[in-house]
Amino acid sequence: MSVDVLHLAINYIDLAASGEHSAHYREQLIGTDGSVSTLLEQLHLAYNGKPAKGYASFSDDKDPAVPQALASWQAADTDYLGFTKAMTDALVNQLSTHQLPETGYLVLGHYRYLASEFLIVCLLGSKDHFALTEQLDLSTSRHLDIARMQLAARIDLTEYQVNAGAGNYISFIRGRAGRKVADFFLDFLGCAEGTDARQNSQKVLASVEEYFAAAEFEQGEKTSARRQVFDYCEERAKAGQDVVLAELSAVVDPEQENGFLHYCAEQQLEVAEQFPVEVKELKKMVKFNGAGGGISLSFDEKLLGDRVQYDAGTDTLIIKGTPPNLRDQLQRFTQGYSAFQRQRDDD
């Protein structure tokens, strides 16, 4: 995988003891050499790997600073450096408005991946790394903490230019810090949440299962098709791309490539022609898992009805053939550890 670096700017946002935010600007763009390309590739992959994303579009009811700055840059009235300065100023303003203590390096990367151009915007923290020289002197270096990326969003500039009406050209990480942070980042970008990837995923799950029943798929065919559907959706999500309904239809039923497509139209299932999905939700197609009351279980969908039997009437699960490590633990516990060890020694 490789990305084509177009522009990269990094500014720093600080918080004074008085509680006021301030920005420190880099006066030139960062070059587009190999290390920059590697950085943007890592950001691209890290962002795609985040499971919980929201989707949004610019809103007239929000702060227009970012949409206006973007329009000015795309119209060539402002260069990229000026555009990123305006973005940084907008972020400082929202941090102050929301009274959040966030600081860090604001990375604004413009790049091309496959046939689309993207603008990734993320506020990253840093961490110190320690190394020893040949003389055993201690040296430190500061690294961007990409692994802990939480405050980040990405604008699909190509989608925004050609299909803004779809309303899902901006994605953002929901994160774990609470709804207030998500609201703050949406306010910073001047956008409102729209397309719900989780709901899209649930609709795909329901629609595909309905099609299986209508097309009278056998159990083995269902299991195979579910895996193919999940693999296709996961691949699209990891690449940061939407699921295409026509392509999904061919995956659901290769023998009738438009079968699922026509079924959705006939049943008025209101599945969009192109939509983002949430892999975590779609994983329910191929794996069952749950935890509660001191029990944690997980098993592949293909085992249900075979090695795993479920009685809905009594809410009872019967598992035939336990994993070796679990079986070992159970035998040690039921037989007594000393007796079990003697048995193992005799064997």
Residue pair 126/142 in contact by the 8 Å Cβ criterion: yes
Q: Token pair for residue 226?
A: 């579910």
Q: What is the mean pLDDT of the chain?
A: 87
Q: Token pair for residue 48?
A: 């795609």
pLDDT above 90: residue 199: no
pLDDT above 90: residue 18: no
CA atoms of 208 and 128, how far apart (whole Å): 48
Q: How many angstroms separate the most distant Cα atoms in the chain?
A: 83
How many of the other CB atoms lie within 10 Å of CB of 253? 21
Give, for 279, the enclosing helix (H) or strand (E): helix 279-282
- What lies within 8 Å, CB to CB, of 287 at 6+ separation is 298, 299, 300, 301
Residue pair 32/25 in contact by the 8 Å Cβ criterion: no
Q: What is the pLDDT of residue 231?
A: 93
Tell me the pLDDT band of 103, cut-offs 50, 70 and 90. Answer: very high
Residue pair 316/310 in contact by the 8 Å Cβ criterion: yes
- What lies within 8 Å, CB to CB, of 170 at 6+ separation is 55, 56, 57, 58, 153, 154, 155, 156, 160, 189, 191
Give the start-to-end residue ranges of the domains of the chain.
Answer: 4-193, 197-284, 305-346
Helix (H, G, I), strand (E, B) or coil at 257: coil
Reported pTM: 0.73
How many of the other CB atoms lie within 10 Å of CB of 119? 23
**pLDDT per position as a tens digit, 235-294:** 888 877 888 989 999 999 998 888 998 888 888 777 778 888 888 888 888 898 888 888
Give, for 299, the enclosing helix (H) or strand (E): strand 295-300
Q: What is the pLDDT of residue 82?
A: 96
Tell me the pLDDT band of 72, cut-offs 50, 70 and 90. Answer: very high
CA 131 to chain centre: 33
Residue pair 140/38 in contact by the 8 Å Cβ criterion: no
Torsions phi, psi of 99, nearest 5?
A: 55, 50
Amino acid letter at 3?
Answer: V
Residue pair 150/45 in contact by the 8 Å Cβ criterion: no
How many of the other CB atoms lie within 10 Å of CB of 321? 10
Tell me the pLDDT band of 40, cut-offs 50, 70 and 90. Answer: very high
Compute CA distances 177 → 33, 122, 150, 155, 185, whole Å. Answer: 34, 15, 8, 22, 12
Q: 């880099």: which residue's tokens?
A: 26
